[in-house]
Amino acid sequence: MDFACRDVVSIRDFGKEEILYILDHAGKAMPVARGERRSDVLEGKILATLFFEPSTRTRLSFETAMLRLGGSVIGFADASGTSVAKGETLADTIRMAESYADAIVLRHPMEGAAKLAADFSTKPVINAGDGAGQHPTQTLLDLFTIKMEKGEIADNNIVLVGDLKYGRTVHSLTYALSLFGANITCVAPPTLQMPSEIVSHLKQMGGRFNQSESLESVIPGADVLYVTRIQKERFPDPEEYRKVENAYRIDNALLANAKRNLVVMHPLPRVNEIAPEVDLGPYARYFRQAFYGVPIRMAILSLILGKGEI
């Protein structure tokens, strides 16, 4: 399997076998991710992290992954301190970054920005979130979490809840889950349901999929509950946000009828959609999920920068 120099723009760029290969590779990277073993496979390599939108986990876990593999990182976490503030185009910023670094990680508010960057760059571009579009490396770490915590991805009942319209993590994840034959239930207010083009794509692929507005009714059958934040920053009208901001809240009372081995995930940050009391209970996996971003991003970086082993 050849990953060298490949862009990671959409999860759809990868087949099931390739995804499993990346997950397997991430599993082997765990001791290095935990700092128990040293690796220098990316020594001399430079990663540019260009973040035009806020980020905590994605940016820091990419940096950690690169540093733990002996590489270096340049970049910015706030474009207002760069020539973008002077009116530089994305294409020109990318041209510069590719002349300084061996790979580029890009987060941008515009859907399609990573594809555009990949078209302008001869170096690999990794999409770290393009507006409400896609977030493929989050999907890889989400799949890794399900595999680590449930053993298998196939045949799990996976409930996605929250903002399925603007949430890019669930757009990428839905596609990947259907590849693996999971049962997907989408729970959202009618105005925030999964976009119809994703639903029809799923149906074409023969995905097992249904929609509901009621979280209570689907909790007892869930193996994984994937909670998302209402994406306030994507609402054109603040009044529309206010109508749905507290649509769902996961607390211990709601989880009273859950399966004993339910796993609760969240790409984070959470606002108020998961009560802090859930953190202390048996179901919470979201902080561990965020840690899994390190081995996954180590696997991706080592594969696309052409050094298979970690």
Residues in contact with ligand ASP by CB under 6 A are 129, 135, 168-169, 229, 267-268
Residue 271: closest CA among 222, 220, 231: 231
Q: How far is the CB of 142 from ligand ASP (least distance, A)?
A: 11
Residues 6+ apart with CB under 8 A from 37: 31
Rank residues 208 and 234 by Cβ distance to ligand ASP and give the closer one. Answer: 234
Rank residues 108 and 229 by Cβ distance to ligand ASP and give the closer one. Answer: 229
Q: How far is the CB of 204 from ligand ASP (least distance, A)?
A: 25
Q: How far is the CB of 201 from ligand ASP (least distance, A)?
A: 20
Q: How far is the CB of 107 from ligand ASP (least distance, A)?
A: 7
Is the bond into 31 cis (omega within 30 degrees of 0)? no
Rank residues 42 and 50 by Cβ distance to ligand ASP and give the closer one. Answer: 50
Q: Strand 183-187 vs strand 157-161: parallel, antiparallel, or unpaired?
A: parallel
**Rounded CA separation 271/228 (Å):** 9
Q: 130: part of which helix (H) or strand (E)?
A: strand 125-130
Is residue 195 a contact partner of residue 163, using CB atoms and an 8 Å limit?
no
Q: How far is the CB of 120 from ligand ASP (least distance, A)?
A: 23
Rank residues 9 and 268 by Cβ distance to ligand ASP and give the closer one. Answer: 268
Rank residues 6 and 234 by Cβ distance to ligand ASP and give the closer one. Answer: 234
Q: How far is the CB of 233 from ligand ASP (least distance, A)?
A: 9
Rank residues 100 and 287 by Cβ distance to ligand ASP and give the closer one. Answer: 287
Is the bond into 269 cis (omega within 30 degrees of 0)? yes
SS3 for 221? helix
Rank residues 14 and 286 by Cβ distance to ligand ASP and give the closer one. Answer: 286
**Rounded CA separation 244/165 (Å):** 12
Rank residues 66 and 268 by Cβ distance to ligand ASP and give the closer one. Answer: 268
Q: How far is the CB of 282 from ligand ASP (least distance, A)?
A: 24
**Rounded CA separation 82/224 (Å):** 41
Q: How far is the CB of 109 from ligand ASP (least distance, A)?
A: 11
Residue 239: other Cβ atoms inside 10 A: 7
CA 183 to each of CA 172, 210, 222: distance values in angstroms, whole numbers, following the listed order: 15, 8, 10
**Rounded CA separation 21/237 (Å):** 42
How many CA atoms within 13 Å lie on the side-chain side of 30? 10
Is residue 107 a contact partner of residue 52, using CB atoms and an 8 Å limit?
yes
